[in-house]
Structure 1
Amino acid sequence: MDWSSFARASAPGIHSIENLSNTLFTTSGRAAIYQALLLLNRPAGSTVLVPTYHCPTMVAPVLLANLKPAYFAIDADGLPLLDSIDATTIARSSAIIAAHYFGLPRSFAKLRQWCDQHGIALIEDCAHCYFGDAGERPVGAWGDYATASLSKFFPVPEAGLVASAHRSIERPALTSPALKAQVKGWIDVLEYATTYKRLAGLNRGLALLFGLKNARTPMPSVTASNKPSGPDEDDMMRDCDMGRIQQRPLWAAMTLKSILPRGRVILQRQKNYGVYARLLAHAKGARPLFSMPSASVAPYVFPLWVDDADRVYHALKAQSLPVFRWDRIWPGTPSHPADAGPLWSRHVLQLLCHQDLSEADTVRIANATLDLLIEPDQAALPPPSLHRPL
């Protein structure tokens, strides 16, 4: 958060998932998926379909809700490859979680029709898409329930959202965080902003206060682990941090959510996406996964296919640049010959489009990527069909 977070800019006519008829705020996007699954009230042990290209926090709520994940392939547009789901799996499935990837939403018309045909509930994962239109409908309006993550778009300490355009949302018995946690939420927002010198005029004084606070906090001890290096299900579940899914979000999150303007978030993300698109359009050994999005979306990241992705990704991370890769796939996720998911997990780098990255920041990130791509390629070119216009 900085002072510009409160600046107003006009981005008329762009839908927000928050505008859907029925909403419930949670502590996180993963908590929102968990609550959506509970709202569906499916029998214990029934199957929930999940894409092979996923963040682990998409799978953990399914297991915590005492349901079983089964996996479906995605096509080169990131849409469910429905032919990859066999009849037996369809028969035992009660819900499907389908995501709009990268903040670039797609029409779910075909998926919605398929769900209605088979009596399967649709949870529309909008963690990357707080704003925009998904083809013929606004984001979130295709699903029986939609879920979102506020902390990916606003400077809040936490918060997620369950929403529906079609179904009422019965209020669960969520507990309120203790007063100490509420105060800490506000302190965390200010401390994080101060660490990155975002609050001009207050940085110095707040830094002194936080320095005194942290000087009295003992550093956590580090112990060696004898566990194997490969992730297992327990590791994944622990890393997903599902501990506060039955609580209401902090006052700090809800207050900031209510008062922060939206227009600048949308416009600056579009601008940053455009910078990446311009500078990386003809990169050697890499290509934008999609062409420029429409003006009705607010991109989360710029997805870049990189041939020699392992080398480039780790080098960018070593420079502390804001790049991500969904390479932690839940153990036991199967493969399918037509599935783009495994290829994306390795080759697609997600360059952040956050509104508090300036044009200079995005130029630096793009140029650092280009510098690395000058080195000799070590991977084969992807199939041409993986590049799709949005």
Structure 2
Amino acid sequence: MPSTTAPPSARRAIPPVPVLSLAAFMGGRRAALPSLLDGADVRLVTSGRIAIGLALRALGVGAGDVVLVPAYHSPSMVPPAHWCGADVAFYRILPDTAPDLADIQAHLAKGRVKAILATHFFGIPHDLAPLRALCDRHGVGLIEDCAHAFFGARDGAAVGSVGDYAIGSTMKFFPIYEGGCLVSHRHRLDVTLHGAGAGFEMKAALNALEAAFAYGRLPVLRLLLALPLRLKSALWNARKSRAANGTAAASPAPALAPSSSDSSFEFDARWTDKRSSWLSRAVLRCVSPARIVARRRRNYQELQRALDGAPGCRPLIARLPDGACPWMFPLLVDRPQPVFEALQRAGVPMTRFGASLWPGVDASVCANSVDLGRRLIAFPCHQALDDAERAWLHAQVRQALDACAAVPA
């Protein structure tokens, strides 16, 4: 197959996630869609998975209980249930990622189910009213997983308002290094949080700033902070060098920030009583929600138009619903591996959500989940992408699809 790798001059470094910029603070506070935080009791924690663990604990989940999790999932959704001492069972999803209520009913008939996680995948809100009614009949807690859906509504119900508790991942929607939230419209949150220390606060701030600098944002601030950042890097490299040479203390120092910020699937219980950093909380208060919603919707629809008629693919969602603020643009690809490899060579940021499922979750558990994990490639549509970055992304994805379709399978 001919290479679709872009020549070096055509390669671009575009941010895979939102990054800080001056524009992020412009655009107004009033968004077209409700926020996960609207009208709820809120605790800002360091990650969505920590929020899951706290929600399960609030529901009284413990040893001998079962937590139902969608068979299409991030592996990070499972360890919080194990932290509570519970077992996990996986329920089927429909081709559009909605919960399969018949399969959930079959699990409930077996007993022991204490809580169900229901996910609004890729920021497309599901109608959870039937699942809410099912949970109420069986006395089961419902946790609304809004990690992909910080803004949105379905049939008049705001995301996060249907579950007993809801969780969010603020770092998927805001230009911050760490952050999640636990919210509830139905219960008071009996959760007390503490600061994680000066090292955490500094790392959260510097990592958010360095991410912005790496993609050409905030150039004046980058110039002003050049010397302190070089000093920080030198100190950090010296610390790592001492550890590698065995001169560090026998017991490694606690991590300055949760591993969830670095794409791990671990659940570190040391962060269950820690609040999100000052910078992350300040960014949530100050950036423009209206801009986030409007630009994500625009960027999603622009990419969909750019790929209209492209061979060997189709959007997971044929039309972006009016009540959706997307996390990413999910595309189903007939020949995903060669397309993925071509885009990877070109440096295109993308996610294959569900490509790694929990051990034992296979087609016999849920064929739809396995098919989505194999075929789906998701592309960024966040608010920080500028015009040139979006145009390059569109061209690279279309080029890879056209090139792979031209080669016989």
Short-chain TM bin: 0.7 to 0.9
Query: Which ranges in structure 2 are unaligned for 5 or more consecutive residues?
Result: 1-19, 245-259
Alpha-carbon distance between aligned partners in 1 of 2:109 and 2:347, rounded to the nearest angstrom: 42
Alignment correspondent of 1:387: none
Map residues 119-138 of structure 1 onto 2, 5 A cutoff: 119-138=139-158
Contact 1:277 1:291 in 2 (8 A): no
CA distance 1:298–1:306, change in 2 (3 Å): same
Alignment correspondent of 1:242: 267
Alpha-carbon distance between aligned partners in 2 of 1:262 and 1:88, rounded to the nearest angstrom: 39
C-alpha offsets along residues 204-225 of structure 1, whole Å, 9 cap, x if unaligned?
23234322331343275799xx
> Does 2:370 correspond to 1:342?
yes
Contact 1:195 1:207 in 2 (8 A): no
CA distance 1:79–1:305, change in 2 (3 Å): same
Alignment correspondent of 2:42: 23
Contact 1:285 1:377 in 2 (8 A): yes
How much has 1:152 moved relative to structure 2? 0.6
Alpha-carbon distance between aligned partners in 2 of 1:379 and 1:90, rounded to the nearest angstrom: 49
Alignment correspondent of 2:181: 161
Q: 2:386 aligns with which of 358, 365, 372?
A: 358
Contact 1:270 1:295 in 2 (8 A): no
How much has 1:334 moved relative to structure 2? 4.3
How much has 1:377 moved relative to structure 2? 4.6
> Does 2:295 correspond to 1:268?
yes
Alignment correspondent of 1:228: none
> Does 2:151 correspond to 1:151?
no
Higher-RCO chain (CA-CA 8 Å, sequence separation at least 6): 2
Alignment correspondent of 2:191: 171
Q: Which region of structure 1 is more displaced relative to structure 2, 176-185 or 259-268?
A: 176-185
Alignment correspondent of 2:204: 185
Alignment correspondent of 2:93: 74
Alignment correspondent of 2:344: 317
How much has 1:65 moved relative to structure 2? 1.8
TM-score between both structures, scaled by the size of structure 2: 0.83
Alignment correspondent of 1:302: 329
Alignment correspondent of 1:58: 77
Query: How big is the alpha-carbon RMSD for the aligned residues of Structure 1 and Structure 2?
Result: 2.6
Contact 1:308 1:378 in 2 (8 A): no
TM-score between both structures, scaled by the size of structure 1: 0.87
Q: What letter is aligned with 1:285?
A: G
Alpha-carbon distance between aligned partners in 1 of 2:162 and 2:332, rounded to the nearest angstrom: 28
Alignment correspondent of 1:210: 229
CA distance 1:12–1:205, change in 2 (3 Å): closer
Identity %: 32
What is the DSSP-based 3-state SS (H/G/I as helix, E as strand, rest coil) of the residue aligned with 2:330?
Answer: strand
How much has 1:380 moved relative to structure 2? 12
Alignment correspondent of 2:159: 139
Map residues 79-118 of structure 1 onto 2, 5 A cutoff: 79-85=98-104, 86-87=106-107, 90-118=110-138
